[in-house]
Amino acid sequence: MPSCSSIAYMPFDPASTEVVLDLGRSLYKLMFQLLLLIESNHKISSNVVNHFRINEDMHDISDLYALVRDALVRCTSEADLDCLESSTSTEGEHTPTPSPGLPMTQEEFESALNDHIDQQRWPSAISHVRQYKRITTLNAADQNLTIFSYSNLDSRLKFDEMSIILNAYAHSIMKDRTEAFIVSKSDSELFEVYAILSENLYHVSSALTNMEIDMKSYSASAASGNLHRSEQDIVTNL
């Protein structure tokens, strides 16, 4: 980390600062609108969930979903740790485990994934999705080859192993239940997202305030300098 004395002094540039200020104000507006949208979404989802919970005919099976998600988190963490230890090991060359045959069709992929889920083989499920994801990436030009068949998944979810497995698990446990619901995010998790965005919004606001103060100081200094030069010119002419 360089010390303050080793960092070259950057002169104040009012033109570039004004551009950054305009961009910062636009960013602040977008973040604030997103914050309002998240807050509204949180209220709507809370009302829907509360409505389901007071309905005696509806069954909350969110605990099953949460157990699977926790298991996937543990498996993912352990897999990443094993990968890190293997890459930093100096005790000989790591020999990768041969990969099983990869399904080349969407139906085969989903069938194998559902089998892993039914048997609760979470490490195998994660590996299965990751391997198929690599195949999909290589064949990205083929629009018919997708990671998962759910059309409502966006591109980010399609390339997230846990989301794919959790959606497949939720689909499997809900298909035979007509009066059940799953809450995939708890209130605390939703509030955490809101809190993080609020904190970032505060930092953006503080940065904008400081830059505006610098701009006002520069403008006042420039105006004072111009006034001083004008007075000198008057005295010289006299």
Task: Report pLDDT digits (tens) over 22-44.
Answer: 999 999 999 999 999 988 988 88
pLDDT for 80: 59
The two tokens of residue 2 are 């360089």
pLDDT averaged over every residue in the chain: 74
Say how far apart CA 83 and CA 91 lie, in whole Å: 14
| Residue 122, pLDDT above cutoff 50 | yes
Q: Enumerate the β-bridge partners of residue 60.
A: 181
User: What average pLDDT score do residues 207-231 get?
Assistant: 73
Distance, in Å, from the CA atom of 165 to the CA atom of 132, rounded to the nearest integer, reads 13
14-23, 121-130, 133-142: range with highest mean pLDDT: 121-130
Predicted local confidence at residue 141, as pLDDT: 45
Q: Which of 16, 66, 22 is nearest to 182 (CA)?
A: 66
* 134-139: Cβ within 8 A, 24+ apart: 135/102, 135/104
Q: Distance of CA 51 to CAs 22, 72, 85, 200, Å?
A: 44, 29, 48, 33
What does the domain layout of the chain look like in residue ranges? 30-58+185-194, 62-86+99-176
130's tokens: 């990751």
Per-residue model confidence (pLDDT) at position 145 = 40
* pLDDT surpasses 60 at 84: no
Task: Place 148 in a pLDDT band, splitting at 50, 70 and 90.
Answer: very low
pLDDT of residue 75: 85
Rg (CA), the chain: 29
- pLDDT at residue 190, rounded to an integer: 81
- The pLDDT value given to residue 201: 93
Q: Could you give the residue ranges of the DSSP H alpha helices within the chain?
A: 14-53, 62-88, 106-118, 122-138, 155-158, 161-174, 187-237
Indicate if the pLDDT at residue 203 is higher than 90. Answer: yes
Q: Note the pLDDT of residue 153.
A: 41
Residue 57 CA to its chain's centroid (Å): 35
